[in-house]
Chain A
């Protein structure tokens, strides 16, 4: 991928996005619905890749940020019914606040310790949602009175262009000097610091950006579903799916996350005939990719050699 310039890759991606934006003319509402969810998941995976692939932080709790954004937006809408964009903005801001709280230990502890902190953050959020049922709807879920639109095609276009814009911003950022500094801090924080880069500041920035897009996507997803529940937005298995999507697509590529998310949703749909075993097959395929092709789809596509 190194041989292509950022502008050229973005141009190719724009072409693909424009092409698939005509899909509503041909395919059924059911497939559009699947793709809409896949696009939001793509944003989750891309935001996660910025933290993991570049800043080197193992975040097992992407759903903490997503869930914070989604529930903030949903609860606000339920209580006061402000315009939807106010709810979505509040959700994104809450996720950013959550990201800063999550980043505090990350700047003190490394690797597995941080991984655990993020895992605990998800469990705490889950406990809060279940225990505080009068506000959050508990285990049954929270139903919001408003949705953005009921039209499949409109929802599809919103999700697609939201993913495209987020992807473009995250991708350009990863290719910018800031991305390089993040990558350096992730691989050797001491050396990056010795070269005069403020590692703490850059990692905190990465957290805030990742949290912003995760929370925004989570809040939008609530107003697409018309509901929020632990099972669809917070549970650890949701987080695992996001991680799988990003790793399948290819770490440190950002755009790979979107590819992985679409693949994951398409696979579970294609394997529906074999019933309950479908998830098993999808996870097994993901494991094979991790074991045999650690650089993911994007790595295979562009044949970047992992320096060994």
Chain B
């Protein structure tokens, strides 16, 4: 019974983690940017969906659409206001740009967090789920929302896979992650590829955010932990490897669920952190990393 419960709960949480980390991994793989405002963008999507339902009395579908739109908009704003100017400036040396992008996105994330706390307080917010009710799977009472979350996550991941591996634009993205200069030489505009990748990232942030809001709920305090969990999943899987991130999301998701059920919810994040430290010492490039 407990075994099945852990298996089902862990699967839903892991799928959500995978979707959340996927965009983060994609951005790093293609443009080498670690976006430390990741968690803030997701929380912005959740709060938008919540506010739409609460203040504007929008239905669950309209609320989800608004959350998605805000997540998408905030992500593109991050790219055009923060990341792109830093990538193109001549005031900072090339080898220091990485550090500046880290610092700037970190500041940007905290600004979003402070603004949300100011406008909508620090209270936890849960978005009204699109599907309600409970179903029994092998004797375990499972909220339909949990199944819905897992299904949507896997659909989104599947579409992303098709997009990257089966379309021309997607192949350009893949090529840019392997050799940016080679792509430029083939006559593909690299900045167009970056904009496309950030747009995909924005959609992923929106979907993952809204699902997170329906499943677990967030508060403005979730910003740091959300970024940290995406960061650790991506490092565990290997920076730049999307399939590595997928595997790592399941490892972390199940490790947390098992700890929460068998030991205590208070210790939930500790084993995953220990595993991460061990991986950093033994195999710094992660499970499937290539750099």
Query: Chain B contacts of A247 at CB under 8 A?
Result: 103
The 9 closest A-B CB pairs, nearest first, are A280-B114, A109-B284, A287-B107, A308-B90, A279-B114, A283-B111, A276-B118, A294-B92, A290-B104
B interface bracket (residues with beta carbon within 8 Å of A)? 35 or more
Given contacts A117-B280, A123-B269, contact A243 B115 (CB under 8 A): no
Given contacts A131-B266, A283-B110, A290-B107, contact A117 B231 (CB under 8 A): no
What is the predominant secondary structure among interface residues of chain B facing chain A?
Answer: helix
Query: Chain B contacts of A115 at CB under 8 A?
Result: 34, 102
B100 near A294 with CB under 8 A, answer yes
Q: Mark B21-42, 1 if CB is under 8 A from A, else 0.
A: 0000000000000100000000
Q: Mark A269-297, 1 if CB is under 8 A from B, else 0.
A: 00000001101100110110011001100
Q: Does B196 contact A (CB under 8 A)?
A: no
Query: Chain A contacts of B182 at CB under 8 A?
Result: none
B231 near A306 with CB under 8 A, answer no
Q: Does A116 contact B (CB under 8 A)?
A: yes
Q: Does B77 contact A (CB under 8 A)?
A: no
Q: A299 — nearest CB in chain B belongs to which residue?
A: B91
Q: Mark A253-277, 1 if CB is under 8 A from B, else 0.
A: 0000000000000000000000011
Q: Does A244 contact B (CB under 8 A)?
A: yes
Query: Chain A contacts of B111 at CB under 8 A?
Result: 280, 283-284, 287
Q: Does B3 contact A (CB under 8 A)?
A: no
Q: Mark B88-120, 1 if CB is under 8 A from A, else 0.
A: 011111010011101110111011001101100
Looking at B151-159, B248-256, B270-278, the stretch in contact with chain A turns out to be B270-278
Q: Does A119 contact B (CB under 8 A)?
A: yes
B237 CB, nearest partner CB in chain A, Å: 13
Q: Does A31 contact B (CB under 8 A)?
A: no
Query: Chain B contacts of A52 at CB under 8 A?
Result: 99
Q: Does A176 contact B (CB under 8 A)?
A: no
Most buried by A among B89, B90, B114, B231: B114
Q: A131 — nearest CB in chain B belongs to which residue?
A: B266
Contact of B110 (CB < 8 Å), options: A105, A237, A294, A308:
A237
